C-alpha cells in the first residue's frame, strides 16, 4: 500500500466510480500547514486551537493568536479552507493557568464551549483574532461541544459582538465567514433538526461522540471496546447525522479518528459522507483506498451493517467486503 499510496498523494480524493471526496487535515498549530499540503491535504478541516494555549504559560493575547491564525490562513490561500475550532479545553486537555482542574468528572464538566461561554473576555479575544485573520484566507469557524440551541445562540451573539468591535475600529474581516459546530455530544444529534438551519456546516467528532453515546471514557483503556465507533449504536447515530445534514443541504464532514479508518470509509461513503478531515499522515492511504470504493456495493454493505449487533461483527463484515 505504501508505495502506491505515495503515488496518489497529489491526486484529488475520489472513489473508484468518480465520486469526489474532500480530504482535509487536522492540525494542532500554524506551522504544520506546509507539511500537510505536502501530504495531499486539500485544506484544514480542524485546527485545534487549544494547543496554542497549552504550549504557553499564560493566555496568548489577541495579537499572538491573530498572527498564528493569519499565518495558517495565508499558507493555505484563498481557495483551501482553514476550519478554526474555538478553544476546546477541559476534559483530557487541562491548561493549568486556566484553573479548570479539580472537577470530579472533567469530561462531563466545564469543557469546550461551556468554558468559553463562562469566560467571555477570553472567548471574545479569540473570536476577534479569528475574525481579523479571516481577511487573509478562507477561514471557517467551528464551535466544539455544542449540546443545545442556547449555547449556539450565545456563541453567535459573542461573535456578533466581536465583529461589531472590529467594525468600530475599522478592522477588516470576512463578512461571509462560515460558522459551524462539532457534533460530538449526543444531545446535539437530538437537537440537530433545529441546529441545522442555523449553521453553515457540521463536523462529526467521533472521538467524543463515541464516548458520550456509550458512556465510556475515551482515555480509559479498560473500556476502549465500548468507546468505539464500531459499536452499532454509535454507527446508527453517525448515519443519522450524515442523513439529516445531507437532507437539509448542510455541509457535513467528519474530523474524529474514524475519518482516517479506511476499513470503515466505504460505509461512510455509502451513507453519503463526502468530506473527511484527519491527521495528515493518514491522507495518502485514505486517497489510495478511496479509489477502491464502488457504489454498486453500497446497498449490500449498508444492509449487512444494519444487521450487525456487535463491534466484532461490524469489523468482520467490513473486512469481508474489503476482501471480496
Ligand atoms: C472528536 O471529539 O472527535 C474531535 C475531533 O475532537 P477532539 O479529539 O479534539 O476532542
Ligand atoms: Mg472532541
The secondary structure of 260-303 as a DSSP string is G-TTTHHHHHHTT--EEEEEGGGHHHHHHHHTT--GGGHHHHHH
Q: Partners of 202 in the beta sheet?
A: 181, 252
Residue 68 in contact with residue 52, Cβ under 8 Å? yes
**From 54-63, 90-99, 229-238, 309-318, the region with the lowest mean pLDDT:** 90-99
Q: Is 49 in the pocket of ligand 1 (CB under 6 A)?
A: no
Q: Which three cell numbers stand for residue 167?
A: 467594525
Instruction: Name the pTM for this structure.
Output: 0.96
pLDDT (0 to 100) of residue 1: 53
Ligand 1 pocket: which of 45, 113, 114, 256 to mutate (most atoms <8 Å of CB)? 256
Helical H segments across the chain, by residue range: 2-7, 33-38, 50-54, 62-76, 113-118, 120-133, 149-168, 186-190, 192-195, 206-214, 232-248, 265-270, 283-290, 298-306, 311-323
User: How far is the first Cα of the chain from the last one, in angstroms, to the nearest whole number?
Assistant: 17
Q: Is 81 in the pocket of ligand 1 (CB under 6 A)?
A: no
Task: Give, as residue ranges, everything with CB less than 5 Å from ion ligand 2.
Answer: 184, 205, 208
Q: What is the pLDDT of residues 239-272, one digit of tens each?
A: 999 999 999 999 999 999 999 999 999 999 999 9
Q: What is the pLDDT of residues 111-170, one digit of tens each?
A: 999 999 999 999 999 999 999 999 999 999 999 999 999 999 999 999 999 999 999 999
Whether the complex's predicted ipTM is more than 0.95 is answered with: yes
Amino acid at each position: 500500500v505504501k508505495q502506491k499510496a505515495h503515488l496518489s498523494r497529489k491526486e484529488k480524493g475520489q472513489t473508484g466510480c468518480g465520486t469526489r471526496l474532500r480530504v482535509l487535515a487536522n492540525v494542532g498549530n500554524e506551522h504544520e500547514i506546509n507539511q500537510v499540503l505536502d501530504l495531499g491535504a486539500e485544506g484544514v478541516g480542524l485546527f485545534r486551537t487549544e494547543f496554542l494555549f497549552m504550549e504557553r504559560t499564560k493566555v496568548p493575547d489577541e495579537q499572538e493568536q491573530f498572527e498564528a491564525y493569519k499565518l495558517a490562513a495565508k499558507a493555505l490561500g484563498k481557495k483551501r479552507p482553514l476550519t478554526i475550532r474555538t478553544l476546546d479545553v477541559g476534559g483530557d486537555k487541562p491548561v493549568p493557568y486556566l484553573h479548570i482542574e479539580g472537577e470530579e468528572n472533567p469530561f462531563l464538566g466545564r469543557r469546550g464551549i461551556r468554558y468559553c461561554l463562562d469566560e467571555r473576555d477570553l472567548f471574545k479575544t479569540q473570536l476577534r483574532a479569528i475574525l481579523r485573520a479571516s481577511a487573509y484566507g478562507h477561514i471557517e469557524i467551528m464551535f466544539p461541544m455544542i449540546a443545545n440551541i442556547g449555547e449556539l445562540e450565545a456563541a453567535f451573539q459573542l461573535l456578533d459582538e466581536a465583529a461589531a468591535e472590529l467594525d468600530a475600529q475599522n478592522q477588516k474581516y470576512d463578512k461571509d465567514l462560515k460558522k459551524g459546530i462539532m457534533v460530538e455530544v449526543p444531545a446535539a444529534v437530538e437537537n440537530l433538526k433545529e441546529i441545522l438551519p442555523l449553521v453553515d456546516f457540521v463536523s462529526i467528532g467521533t472521538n467524543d461522540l463515541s464516548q458520550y453515546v456509550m458512556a465510556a471514557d475515551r482515555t480509559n483503556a479498560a473500556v476502549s471496546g465500548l468507546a468505539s465507533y464500531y459499536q452499532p449504536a454509535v454507527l446508527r447515530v453517525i448515519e443519522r447525522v450524515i442523513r439529516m445534514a445531507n437532507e437539509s443541504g448542510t455541509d457535513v464532514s467528519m474530523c474524529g479518528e474514524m475519518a482516517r479508518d479506511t476499513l470503515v470509509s466505504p460505509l461512510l461513503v455509502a451513507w453519503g459522507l463526502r468530506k473527511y478531515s484527519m491527521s495528515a499522515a493518514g491522507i495518502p492511504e485514505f486517497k489510495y483506498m478511496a479509489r477502491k470504493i464502488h457504489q454498486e456495493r453500497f446497498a449490500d454493505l449498508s444492509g449487512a451493517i444494519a444487521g450487525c449487533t456487535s463491534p466484532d461483527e461490524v469489523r468482520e463484515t467490513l473486512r469481508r467486503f474489503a476482501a471480496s
